[in-house]
Amino acid sequence: MCSTRAIGIDFGTVYSCVAVFQNGKVEIISNEQGNRITSSCVAFTNNKRLIGDAAKSQISMNPKNTIFGFKRLIGCKFDDATVQADMKHWPFKVINDNGKPKIQVEYKNQIKLFTPEELSSMILANMKDIAEIYLGRKISEAVITVPAYFNYSQRQSIKDAGIIAGLNVLRIIDESTTAAIAYGLVNKISAERNVLVFDLGASNVNITVLTIEEDIFEVKSIASSTHLGGEDYVNRIVEYFVREFKRKHNKDLQDNKRSLQRLRNACECAKLTLSSSCQASIEIDSLHEGIDFYWTITRECFEELNIDLFRSTIEPIEKALGDAKMDKASIHEIILVGGSTRIPKVQQILQDFFNGKQLNRSMEPDEATQDDDYDDPKRPFTVVYGTVNSRKR
């Protein structure tokens, strides 16, 4: 951290977390519910605003005014194909305001419009509040992680959101780079090693190739691809069940936002279950027009629905290796970051690409960008960036 007053915030599409350096190590701070990660979700009701887990918990009852995934809108235009595709899966309303997307909600019986940056500031402010409660003091400075594909304008938007949240943003740093720093500092690498960070989160895949030697981290290349993460896998499951429901009952769930959100919640749970089990059950009473929905989805079915997306994660790896002028045999360590790296098929495809090389799963995927837990707070390190960034939108 740059000062004793600074915190680190990992602002994610689905979850966020906050950490502080003290007592010689980085501590990830739990929220009021005791969770180390907090939902990146904001909800509006007739009398109050809810942020984080409290917002997520009432989403089925209030889908049109519960906002999530808005990080995907930062720096985008309303007419962008990705925005139009996302809107089909969101229960809330996104409108065109002079070419820019804004989210429309009903708050305290009035129609309100919010920019993605304003909603982002609410999440950052919540992270700040969580840290202040834990530390018992005011926080004014922060370092915030962002996806590697974020351009200058998007990074500035995050800084602006930080300012709205009452934070002086000391630095914006790539998520995958922080994971590599954590790996290097924890393992105290002395000999030169080439490291590839595979960061697969809720909405994108980020690949960073670095050379680490002692306390010098040289970023050789960065490659990214958006709309290639956990949220997109859930979308595929939802689309599958919507088709099955219509085939079986001749009724379209797309006409009922609340029913669609209840189905999505169940699909999110199923996706998580399928990372450790071969099948998951969907049981929703009175999903639509009094019709119960009971279904079992297998891991094999889940993989078939998403196999093209899983395989597409290899493209930015090939790009990053090419830009770094390395072949895959030159990589000494492959570090997995992001919750979607828990998916067995993703791990298999990645391991097959690297000819069976062991994957480094030692870091907690959801917290790796914060978890640089090393024992010498005064130990200096240097990050050197190369000239190659490859970003696919």
Q: Judge whether 71 counts as a catalytic residue.
A: yes
Q: Judge whether 102 counts as a catalytic residue.
A: no
* Alpha helices in the chain, H assignment, sequence order: 53-57, 81-87, 116-135, 152-164, 175-187, 230-249, 257-273, 299-312, 314-323, 344-353
The one catalytic residue in 199, 333, 367, 371 is 199
The one catalytic residue in 175, 232, 366, 367 is 175
Distance CA 272, CA 95 (A): 32
Distance CA 318, CA 45 (A): 47
Query: 116-135 and 152-164 are packed helices; what angle lies between their axes, rounded to 10 degrees?
Result: 50
Please give the structure tokens belonging to residue 61. Answer: 């009852």
Distance CA 162, CA 155 (A): 11
Residue with tokens 């049109």: 64
The one catalytic residue in 56, 71, 220, 345 is 71
Q: Tell me the residue type at 270.
A: A
Smallest Cα–Cα separation from 24: which of 44, 4, 47? 4
Could you give phi then psi for residue 313, rounded to 5 degrees? -70, -15
Could you give phi then psi for residue 85, rounded to 5 degrees? -70, -40
Q: Tell me the residue type at 346.
A: V
Q: Judge whether 80 counts as a catalytic residue.
A: no
Distance CA 366, CA 190 (A): 27
Smallest Cα–Cα separation from 12: which of 68, 63, 59, 51? 68
Its sign, for the CA torsion 302, 307, 312, 314, is positive
Distance CA 194, CA 276 (A): 30
Residue with tokens 């609410």: 122
Smallest Cα–Cα separation from 105: which of 24, 185, 48? 48
Distance CA 122, CA 134 (A): 19
Q: Judge whether 199 counts as a catalytic residue.
A: yes
The residues annotated as belonging to the active site are 10, 71, 175, 199
